[in-house]
Amino acid sequence: MELTRPITVSKSKIDEIIDEDSRLTKLIYHYLLSATAWLIFGSFVGLFLGLKFIYPDWGNTAWLSFGRLRPIHTNVVFWGWTSLSMIGLALYVVPRTSQNRLYNLLLSRQALYVINLSVLLGVISLFLGINNGGQEYREFTWPVMLLFALGIGANLLNLYKTVAARKTREIYLSNWYILAAFIWTMVVVVIAYLPFYQNSLGETIIQGYYMHMGVGMWFTPLVLGLTYYFLPKLLNKPIYSYSLGVLAFWTQMVFYSLIGAHHFVFAPIPWWLQTVAIVFSFGMFVTLFAGTANFLLTMKGSFRTIAKSYSLPYILVGVIFYFLASGQGSLEALRSLNKIWHFTNFTVAHSHLTMYGFVVFLIWGGIYALMPRLTGNEPSHILVGIHFWFALIGLLIYGFALMIGGTLQGQSWIDGLPFINSVELMAPYWLWRAVGGTLMFIAHLVFAFNIFKMQPASNKDFVLETAEESV
């Protein structure tokens, strides 16, 4: 009997090409290209680190030691990959939703060079063992981070001026999120790098504040702001509720800035400060419900469109992880659960489920939504699918292995068993993490190829099918 149904849903080709200033298209592409190069390098280092848990004798030189490579991995994926790719997308979304041109193209191009230079110098110095001390995610020395801040500041100025000169009356929700992310990040970087109040426990409290403001006030609002543009745009309908978006925005701004101390539950910092952090970590469920409901209700009734699109599935996955993985964080903050999971690999699972499952998937959704429409060059649908499934399955293997292993690890410590017991029991989970990581890394190589395929033509000579665009 002949099969009538194909195994996979065939994806639709893009139905419009946006007539954008080709200089802006190139600028966005260069942001994405640099970001992708950092993703390949950063996740290769991540994979190597994962393999070190199985083959501890690998890379027995100082510059290949775990202590040097781990901050290289985290800083590269934070400042090189995630930041540059989100800024690249914001350079399109902010002018578009302001119905205006980008204020100063050259400024953002210079910022691109400066940020790339800062990440490059940061990596070289970390390889050489030169760092800012032991504090996580701020291992880059201050001159290096000053360069990064200059790049962020220049883009902030550019985007702010673009919104200020907007042709719409309202500031679209995306721009609230995007501008807030830039402003908070400037504040957070300054607080984290000023040395004079950071003595002993003061340093610990600032570290908690910095770490969580980094993930919660840079990556989270920036990527949510982008999604508030791409999701309704791709579905060709307005966002379900503007008010829910505003509620999610303000609770994010207020609650998130109070929860940094949940990184140091049971540490010798004031008990009340930990309690405040725990209460507001739980309060984040309000934000999560409001934000996720808004996205899912926007998608309601459009699941066929999602199945036929090759960018929307990434956004769907990102939204689901936004809720599940952040909600997991709210639970981790509770004293009863933190007791088991703190210091274990469970936290590493949470980091990747959030940063990767939520932030990175939404970024990929945005890139696949935008680039083909800007350049007229579509990637192969099969390859986009391979990228999607390898990344998703890899992440699930990575996440579940470390969630299960991390819980057993914590239980073994609570039971007072010899430390080596917890190392031995982790062996199969670390192996699974490496399997997941390998799939993720392969997905990144496929993504890099797709980025290459979506490059703008040197002369923009493709036919405009539909140039009419609205927010």
Residues in contact with ligand HEM by the rule CB under 6 A: 43, 46-47, 49-50, 70, 73-74, 77, 82, 136, 211, 215, 219-220, 259, 262-263, 281, 284, 288, 326, 329-330, 332-333, 338, 341-342, 347-348, 350-352, 354-356, 358-360, 437, 440-441
Comparing CB distances to ligand HEM, the nearer of 351 and 421 is 351
Nearest to 333 by CA among 285, 258, 287, 277: 277
Comparing CB distances to ligand HEM, the nearer of 102 and 277 is 277
Comparing CB distances to ligand HEM, the nearer of 98 and 326 is 326
Comparing CB distances to ligand HEM, the nearer of 367 and 374 is 367
Closest approach of ligand HEM to the CB of residue 422, in Å: 13
Closest residue to bound ligand HEM by CB? 329
CA distance 409 to 417: 10
> For residue 407, what are its two tokens?
């819980």
Closest approach of ligand HEM to the CB of residue 443, in Å: 8
Closest approach of ligand HEM to the CB of residue 390, in Å: 10
Comparing CB distances to ligand HEM, the nearer of 18 and 384 is 384
Map 410-469 to HEC letters: HHHHHCCCCHHHHHHHHHHHHHHHHHHHHHHHHHHHHHHHHHHHCCCCCCCCCCCCCCCC
Q: Using DSSP, state whether 61 is helix, strand or coil.
A: coil
Comparing CB distances to ligand HEM, the nearer of 43 and 294 is 43
Closest approach of ligand HEM to the CB of residue 319, in Å: 12
Closest approach of ligand HEM to the CB of residue 48, in Å: 8
Q: Using DSSP, state whether 21 is helix, strand or coil.
A: coil
Comparing CB distances to ligand HEM, the nearer of 9 and 247 is 247
Closest approach of ligand HEM to the CB of residue 113, in Å: 22
Nearest to 365 by CA among 85, 46, 18, 80: 85
Residue keyed to tokens 């600032």: 206
Residue keyed to tokens 């400060």: 273
Closest approach of ligand HEM to the CB of residue 140, in Å: 15
Closest approach of ligand HEM to the CB of residue 462, in Å: 32
CA distance 10 to 3: 15
CA distance 41 to 35: 10
Q: Is the dihedral of CA 228, 231, 236, 239 positive or negative?
A: negative
**Cα distances (Å, whole numbers) of residue 431 to 16, 53, 74, 341, 349:** 45, 8, 21, 20, 14
Comparing CB distances to ligand HEM, the nearer of 151 and 437 is 437
